[in-house]
Each structure stands twice: as structure tokens, then as C-alpha cells.
Amino acid sequence: MYKCVFEDDNILIVDKERNISVHPGAGNKDNSLMDLILSSGKYGYLGIINRIDKDTSGLVLIAKDGFTHMALEEKMKAYEIKRKYVGFVYGIFDLCAGKIETKIIRSNSDKTTMVASSTIGKDAVTLYKVLNSFFSEISFLEYQLKTGRTHQIRVHMRHNKTPVIGDHKYSKGLSLILKETPQDVQNLLKSFRKQMLHSKYISFEHPVTNHLVEVEAHLPDDMKILLDKLIQVSH
């Protein structure tokens, strides 16, 4: 479900699997990440700093006391917590690195869905770097978030017409026909029911000790299998 990758007196950082909500919600009353950690009986206070989607894997930063919680929230607002994700998308990019900058607002037709806008909503900035591309149809990207909007990377990838592989919510209506990708790779891609997106890196100055905290998480097994397969078949 999750594993601890860093802990001291003030801070806990865990690497969560997909299919776990960070907070309790409708239809998920007692199986959230918060519930699972609290059920250990080790913690009296937990404050989530970076919220990631239920079906996104990777690092979640948690404060263990009120002072640290407030201090880390202020660092988030000041963009002093560096966060990187990696993900697989359909499509390729003209540039090896770039920036997607829009506003993001909740959809009028579906309140669980966010949409990119040029005029209304909250500012959203995503930096991306192409780590690898395969068959001129699939890209492996690293993202750095400059803002933290709901579903930000997924919304920006849809806006760019390069949706995250396995993200069925934000790929609806987009043409995803693969002509050059081998059939065995296509079959593997079709097997993914969750988005191939992973919160892999967090760094910040510790609000109590002032030391640099820097944590990186390994790829989950399915993303590692996909990357190995793409590299193997494309060579």
C-alpha cells in the first residue's frame, strides 16, 4: 500500500501505490493513505502537504506536528518545495524541454474533471523534459510543477493532445491510433487501467533543522516493465 522512505521527528515521506486516495472521501471512508498510516498507532498528528491523485503513485510529504505543517504549507505557497514527476504519454514533442502554461478550472459538465483555459481559472505552470521517445508515438517525460492545481499534469497533457498513457478520464475523444508501435507493446499499453504517472522526487529545506531534504522514489513495477519493454523493442 505504501512504504516509508524518510522520517524524522517532524516529517514523514511515504511512497504510495496507485488506487489509494490520500484523504478519505465518498466511497472511501476508511481506506485512505491517512487512515492506513494513522491505524499504525504511531502518530497523533499528520498533515498532508502535497496531495497526489488516487491513481498516481509516488511520494507524499506529511508533517508530524502543527508548526512543521504550517511551515511546509508556506514553502509550498512560495514554490520552495521542488517536485518532479515522470510519466508516459501518447505522442511526441517538437522540443526536448518546454513549458505548458494555462489556467485550470473545474468543468461545468463534470465536477470531477478539470479543464485548461486561456481566460478563466487558476494559473497553472508545468515544466517538462523529454527523457526518451519511442516509435515516434510514445514519450517518457519528466515534469516539474511550478503550481499545484488539481490533476494539473493530466490536464496539461490533454491540452497538449499528448495524454498520459492509462489516463482514461483525460484521453476521451482524442485520437490514439498507433501505426509504428509493435503490436506486443500496444497490447501492454492497453492493459494499463490507471495513469502511468509517478511522483518521483521531492526536495526542500527542512523547516526545523534547515538541512536539505531530498528524496527520490523508484518507478513502480508496471512503469519499469513498460520502460524496459520500450527500450528493448526499440533497439
Catalytic residues: 53
In degrees, rounded to 5, the angle at the alpha carbon of residue 227 between the alpha carbons of residues 183 and 22 is 115
Q: How many CB atoms lie within 10 A of CB 110?
A: 10
Can you read off the three cell numbers belonging to residue 75? Answer: 514553502
Residues 138, 144, 150, 151, Cα dihedral to 10° = 10
In degrees, rounded to 5, the angle at the alpha carbon of residue 45 between the alpha carbons of residues 40 and 47 is 105
Q: Using the structure block, give the residue that is written with the C-alpha cell 509493435.
A: 182
Distance CA 20, CA 194 (A): 12
The two most distant CA atoms of the chain are separated, in Å, by 54
